[in-house]
Amino acid sequence: MGRQAPSILVVLAVAILGGVPHGAGASDVAPPRGPTVSGDAFYALSEEDAKAGGRKLLGDDLRAGGLRFAPDVDAASRAVVLGSVGRARPEAARLIALVDGLVDVRVGDAGRDALGTTTDRGGRYEVVLDIAQVQAQLGERGVDRLVLHELGHVVDGAVVGAALDEALDAQMPPGYACAPGERTSACAPREERFAETFAKWATGDIGVNLNIGYAVAPPVVPLDRWGEPLAALGEDQGQ
């Protein structure tokens, strides 16, 4: 049975990129505490890496599929999700295309204080998206951030190795004297810093006045430079 590790995206009522976070329908509460998708890449992208690292090869059979929607997801919601993916920069879209066949998408309530979750189920990833609430509060821009944040978790968990994760995270502003339980800004878990920055890189939108997520500041280098290793990862696979 796969490891169930929900990664949670929450609404933040913040000014620009900082401030006091508020969960949806709550007041003065931090984003929920809990495990996130983490660890080294589940899959290898070449037979050589698969043998060297003892990981399963992400072969053509796994790459061939697309997002798999639950039977109760209506056509309009499917179109919304696919539209967000379609607006991602080409380099991000290539990475999503590597892993989208591993993703099961549900649309609806994502749980207390959450707008989206990603759960690792042993090499498949269940993504839950509260599209209706995000559309009502933040429109298309918010939905793009929601969808690409959660798919960023899938990219991270499936194909981004620990060394690359460490290199990318080293370009994020560090957190100092984080209070116990603090999960926002530079004190957010490494996996959330990645997913939020992946979504910013994918859209070119650093999130000014977009009150969703973990209030993670942009990297200390330009977004294009931060994403260069990820772009190369996708290009290396001929996507």
Assess contact for 213 and 149: CB atoms under 8 A: yes
Q: What is the pLDDT of residue 236?
A: 58
Residue written as token pair 């189920």? 121
Give the range among 18-32, 65-79, 157-171, 203-217 with minimum mean pLDDT: 18-32
User: Facing residues of 15 across strands?
Assistant: 18
CB 143 within 8 A of CB 131: yes
The per-residue pLDDT for 17 is 24
Q: How distant, in Å, are the alpha carbons of 69, 117, 118, 153 from that of 224?
A: 31, 26, 25, 19
Domain edges within the chain: 7-236
Question: Does 119 score more than 50 pLDDT?
Answer: yes
